[in-house]
Amino acid sequence: MFSILLFSLAPVFFVIGLGFAAGRRGWVDAGATGMLGAFVAQFALPIALFLAIVTAPRALLVAELRPTTAYAVTFLVLLGLTLAFARRWRLPAVTTALYVQTVGMPNLGGIGLGLFQSLEGPGSEVTLAVANLVGTLTVTLYCFMRLEMQGGGHPARAFGAALVKPMTILPTLGFLIAFAGLPFPEIGLAVLKPLAQATGGAGLFLTGVILSTQRLRLTRASLLAVFLSNILRPALALALCLLLALPPGVEARIVVAMAIPAGFVGTILSAIYREGTAESGGALVATTFASIVTLPLWIAVGVWLAGA
């Protein structure tokens, strides 16, 4: 067990720590994360998720359909709870959207890819891609819609604009192509593969750099983020897996995926919109540092489930 935890978590936290040190020591411009963030969020991550799905055999995607129920219910419950608290605290609309994105969407593209590659090796990206697709079509789609509606935009136009963003449209297209059994050209795979291969390390490093720009303040928003992201989300996913009687290996992957702390997309967007930095940044810092304790515990639960 110790060996599994060491070899799966050491690469993840080492690269995050390297990014954190690079930002704090001034080796990189920690205040100018926009370019690296745009590269990961707009290019590398969507393409990595697209390739993970579009190259998956249809039978493997069919096998992932049952777990989507657990993912969907988990994401929707987290979305509803986060929205309820944000409205109770009377947060502005943009701040609410960014906080919902940060708390509700785990860092599947950064921590998730590196962690699953360490745990299971090549091929594990399909699980993450499907989980990310469900989260994108629930949490992220809501966030993008709310941002598009600022200034009185029509909900239908906002939905259309949110749906065609790279993070939403590319994984969706990949799933539709693969599920239909359509072959994807080999030249396309060769052209896109370098970008996909850069995602895991770049996402982890970017997470560390962003963390170096934030201060850990134990506010009600950051404490709620830790409870929802690090404790409730994987616990709810575990309960749903047991209720659905999914195969043990699938249950383990779902629980570990849902135990991954908050993602960095909301923090990047907060810098662009110049709003919600305290809430989204605080959630990112708190959940990532809390995951040093919570993530090994949930991985241990996943290992136990897989061996049960």
65-79 average pLDDT score: 91
pLDDT the model gives residue 236: 96
pTM of the model: 0.83
Confidence of residue 3 (pLDDT cuts 50, 70, 90): low
Least confident window among 32-46, 111-125, 176-190, 277-291:
111-125
Give me the phi and psi of 240, to 5 degrees please.
Answer: -70, -40
Q: DSSP letter for 106, please.
A: B
pLDDT the model gives residue 96: 92
Q: What is the mean pLDDT of the chain?
A: 83
Q: Which residue has the higher pLDDT, 138 or 56?
A: 138
pLDDT the model gives residue 153: 66
pLDDT per residue as tens digits for the range 220-259? 999 999 999 999 999 999 999 999 988 888 888 899 999 9
pLDDT the model gives residue 7: 61
pLDDT per residue as tens digits for the range 119-169? 665 556 677 778 888 998 899 889 888 888 876 667 777 778 778 888 888
Least confident window among 14-18, 204-208, 283-287:
204-208
pLDDT the model gives residue 121: 56
Cα of first residue to Cα of last residue in the chain, in angstroms, is 14
185-203 average pLDDT score: 83
Q: Residue 121: left (phi > 0), alpha (psi -120 to 50), or beta?
A: left
* Residue-range domain boundaries for the chain: 2-23+33-307
pLDDT the model gives residue 4: 58
pLDDT at 294 over 90: yes
184-211 average pLDDT score: 82
Q: Which residue has the higher pLDDT, 79 or 53?
A: 79
pLDDT the model gives residue 232: 97
pLDDT at 298 over 90: yes
Confidence of residue 65 (pLDDT cuts 50, 70, 90): confident
CATH assignment of 2-23+33-307?
A: 1.20.1530
Confidence of residue 302 (pLDDT cuts 50, 70, 90): confident
Please give the torsion angle defined by the CA atoms of residues 40, 41, 43 and 49, in that order, rounded to the nearest 10 degrees: 100
SS3 category, 219: coil
